[in-house]
Structure 1
Amino acid sequence: MTTIAPAPTSTDVETRGFAVSSLVLGIVSFVAGFTFVVPVAGLVLGILALRRERSARTMAVWGVVLNAVMLAGAVVGTLAFLVFGLLLLPFAPLAFI
């Protein structure tokens, strides 16, 4: 005799929203490039998911990791562009010769 698993209740589906959103924003920020807003939003949602949603802990951890890596990359990239630009600023008049 086969047993049919019960359908997930609405509370099971609703409690994974923060974790899924964090994971999706982490993937989008990884694919879309260096931005600040998307990884920050994903990081906040991932931390909220870790505190509230015990059933979706793996997705929340992956979302936090992806968003933290992309946020750190955006910060390092921005600082590198600023430093590189400031280092080349004295040579800017040579570009017009």
Structure 2
Amino acid sequence: MTDTTSTPAVDEPTAAAEQPPAATPENPYAAPRAASPTTATNAFSIASLVLGIAAIPTGWWIASVVAIVFGFIARSREPQARTMSTWGIVLGFVGAFGWLVLAILGLALAAPFALWGAAIGWGPDFLGF
């Protein structure tokens, strides 16, 4: 070490330790702060998800429509529950238009048999009489 610098001794207090921390004064005329809610309510997203799930096996198209509406409301009001509301929207559309998918699949599976029956026929030659 050089002569111009020195290290403080162990017993010497430092300048920062001598000063108390600065406290911010409170305004005695300020209105008391209301406690902010710690948990956010996800009512629309939960309702959207439940209605979307319930609409599929029951076939309630009105529940599907309400699930879609609640899902879009929840996406704008509840950003923390975006995944739940998205699933509610998807399941709402599946419940609303799932019958259309089943009808198309049914026709696609039944069409070969109908065409085969129309081409060959179901008369006495088919049965071997």
Shorter-chain TM-score: which interval? 0.5 to 0.7
CA RMSD of aligned residues (A): 2.5
- Equivalent in the alignment of 2:66: 41
Equivalent positions of 1:9-88 (< 5 A) are 9=37, 12-13=40-41, 16-32=42-58, 34-74=59-99, 76=100, 80=103
CA 37–10 in structure 1, closer or farther in 2 if over 3 Å, else same: farther
TM-score w.r.t. the length of structure 1 is 0.61
Identity %: 37
Q: Which has the larger radius of gyration?
A: 2
Q: Flag the structure with higher helix content.
A: 1
Looking at structure 2, the residues matched to 11 and 44 of structure 1 have their Cα atoms a distance apart, in angstroms, of: 24
User: Aligned partners of 1:71, 1:54: CA distance in 2, in Å?
Assistant: 25
Distance 1:54 1:45 in 2: 13
Secondary structure at 2:80 match in 1: coil
Residue 31 of structure 1 deviates from its aligned partner by: 2.5
TM-score (norm 2): 0.47
Structure 2 runs not aligned, ≥5 long:
1-36, 108-129
User: Cα distance, 1:19 vs. partner?
Assistant: 0.1
List runs of 5+ in structure 1 lacking aligned partners: 1-8, 85-97
